[in-house]
């Protein structure tokens, strides 16, 4: 019996703010959104500006049973939420998860706050889908569906953030963004989370040469991603959360340099699908 589908498709790979320019056509300008397929189950990580297009695609497929996981609620990771078509479809079931905040009903209340006057004309009460809001603590193990195990850990980011490891059918994918490393140190929480995984998607906003100018901004470097992969025996590294100013030419250059250090490295881009 063959292996079940286990894949990641990128709908948004930018950080901070969308950047649709002539210089970003190849890699795209949408902010963070990753669709993970585990057999016939659909998991979504973050709802940046690419979330809207994903919703239209899922509507066409009549895929109406979804799990949505947030790393955190900064605007670039949540801005697409009100424009996600399945949220307005009464046939759709969506379970929404977050684990970086300790307030009561954090997931529900954060979305309510985001879609509140004067920032948005209507609140989440306009959604017609069957929605369940789920809070957890970073570090918990989640079991959203049969055969799927999700491990989590906290990340070093202003206001907090959560990393995820999806274990399915004997394989593992790790989604690790947004996080800031300490110079000359490897985050032990991340190392434990990603150990032996087939793929790590990691916050590579900066290069090591740029990082000293952005200490305490909450982001990491592509070189740090490679160091983590080598230390944790991860063969494939998805360079993610690109700086808005990164041109296609510059990302091509980063990808080439990364491949020299770790052959399985690649720069993520809108529309790219990776089989795990």
Hunting for tokens 């948005």 — which residue is that? 120
Length of the chain: 276
Burial degree of 72 (CB within 10 A; 0-12, 13-18, 19+): buried
- Indicate if the pLDDT at residue 164 is higher than 70: yes
**Token pair for residue 185?**
């140190």
Round to whole Å and give the CA distance between 271 and 19: 16
Query: What average pLDDT does the chain have?
Result: 97
Hunting for tokens 């009561």 — which residue is that? 104
What pLDDT was estimated at residue 167? 98
What would the pLDDT profile of 146-162 be if each residue is shown by its tens digit?
899 999 999 999 999 99
How large is the average pLDDT for residues 191-213? 98
What would the pLDDT profile of 29-82 be if each residue is shown by its tens digit?
999 999 999 999 999 999 999 999 999 999 999 888 999 999 999 999 999 999
Whether pTM exceeds 0.95: yes
What would the pLDDT profile of 114-127 be if each residue is shown by its tens digit?
999 999 999 999 99
Cβ–Cβ < 8 Å for 39, 15: no
Domains and CATH numbers, the chain: 6-275 (3.60.15.10)
How large is the average pLDDT for residues 136-146? 95
Round to whole Å and give the CA distance between 203 and 14: 10
Q: How confident is the model at residue 1 (pLDDT cuts 50, 70, 90)?
A: low
What pLDDT was estimated at residue 245? 96
């Amino acid at each position: 019996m063959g292996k079940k589908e286990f894949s990641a498709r990128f709908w948004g790979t930018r950080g901070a703010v969308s950047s649709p320019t002539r210089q970003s056509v190849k890699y795209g300008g949408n902010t963070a959104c990753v669709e993970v397929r585990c057999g016939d189950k659909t998991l979504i990580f973050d709802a940046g500006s690419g979330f809207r297009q994903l919703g239209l695609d899922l509507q066409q497929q009549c895929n109406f049973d979804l799990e949505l996981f947030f790393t955190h609620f900064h605007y670039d990771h949540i801005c697409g939420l009100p424009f996600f078509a399945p949220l307005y479809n009464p046939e759709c079931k969506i379970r929404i998860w977050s684990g970086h905040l300790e307030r009561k009903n954090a997931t529900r209340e954060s979305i309510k706050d985001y879609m509140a006057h004067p920032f948005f004309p209507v609140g989440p009460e306009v959604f017609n889908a069957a929605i369940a809001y789920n809070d957890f603590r970073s570090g918990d193990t989640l079991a959203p569906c049969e055969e799927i195990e999700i491990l989590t850990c906290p990340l070093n980011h202003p206001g907090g953030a959560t990393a995820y490891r999806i274990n399915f059918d004997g394989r593992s994918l790790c989604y690790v963004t947004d996080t800031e490393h300490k110079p000359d140190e490897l985050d032990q929480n991340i190392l434990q989370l990603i150990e032996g995984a087939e793929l790590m998607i990691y916050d590579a906003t900066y290069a090591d040469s740029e990082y000293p100018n952005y200490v305490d901004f909450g982001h990491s470097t592509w070189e740090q991603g490679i160091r983590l992969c080598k230390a944790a025996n991860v063969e494939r590294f998805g360079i993610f959360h690109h700086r808005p100013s990164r041109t296609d030419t510059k990302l091509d250059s980063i990808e080439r340099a990364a491949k020299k250090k770790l052959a399985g490295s690649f720069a993520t881009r809108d529309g790219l699908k990776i089989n795990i």
